[in-house]
Every structure is written in C-alpha cells, then in structure tokens.
Amino acid sequence: SGLSRQTRVSAALLGRVLQRAWSSAVMPELMASLPVTGLDGTLRRSRGNAATTGRAHLKTGSLRDVQALAGYVLGASGKRYVLVAIVNHPNAGAARPALDALVQWTIDDTTRATERP
C-alpha cells in the first residue's frame, strides 16, 4: 500500500508487476483504486493542465528522503504506458516538479513521435 523502509523493490520490478497486473483479471479493480490526475487523492492538485486531467492513474508515495510515483499513463496517441519513478535523495521532496514533468512528458507522446531526430 505504500513505501516501506523494511520492504524494498526496484523500479524495474514494480514496472513488471504493473505490466502483469494490466493483463490480469483484477485490472479493473486496480485501476479503480488508483488516484486519477487532477481528480482525486494525492493527484487532485497535480501540476498538469486541463488536458492532463484523467489521463493518469498513479499512486504516489513519500518517506523522508524518498518520493515515488507508479501506475498507468494514457498518452495523447492513445497508447497506455506503465510509469514508475523513485527518487532516493536527501532532497527528494524537491523532485515533485520533475515527477509532474515526467507524467506530462509521457502524456505528450505524440509530440515526440512527430519530431525528427
């Protein structure tokens, strides 16, 4: 249900769990349990714009020196992404704008698809 100093998981493992959960029979219940950007829970005041409202189902987490975010993001292209970010640093509380920007970057996936390298 949240971060723990006793139980540890890597971002990669959490991502694989979310991928597996997406194709499981409990996926609708899991999605319904995750806060939605701009609408409820810890994501009600997320820093995205009106176009990002409802586009991500994410669980936030924080401990002293840790900020985390994990769940599913629906990109503008219609593709759904698993997103996991964990910041372990004495100044982790300052990472919230970067985590918000990561969610926005994921939502804006069509912008990257049309750019030339």
* pTM given for the model: 0.84
What long-range pairs does 6-14 form, CB within 8 A, spacing at least 24?
11/70, 11/84, 11/85, 11/86, 12/84, 14/70, 14/84, 14/86
Helix (H, G, I), strand (E, B) or coil at 9: coil
HSE-CB for 22 with a 13 A CA cutoff: 14
Mean pLDDT (the chain) is 85
Do residues 77 and 109 lie in contact, with contact meaning Cβ atoms separated by under 8 Å?
yes
Provide the 10 A C-beta neighbour count for residue 34.
Answer: 17
Lowest mean pLDDT among 18-27, 63-72, 92-101, 103-112: 103-112
pLDDT in tens, 30-73: 999 998 987 886 666 665 555 578 899 999 888 888 999 999 99
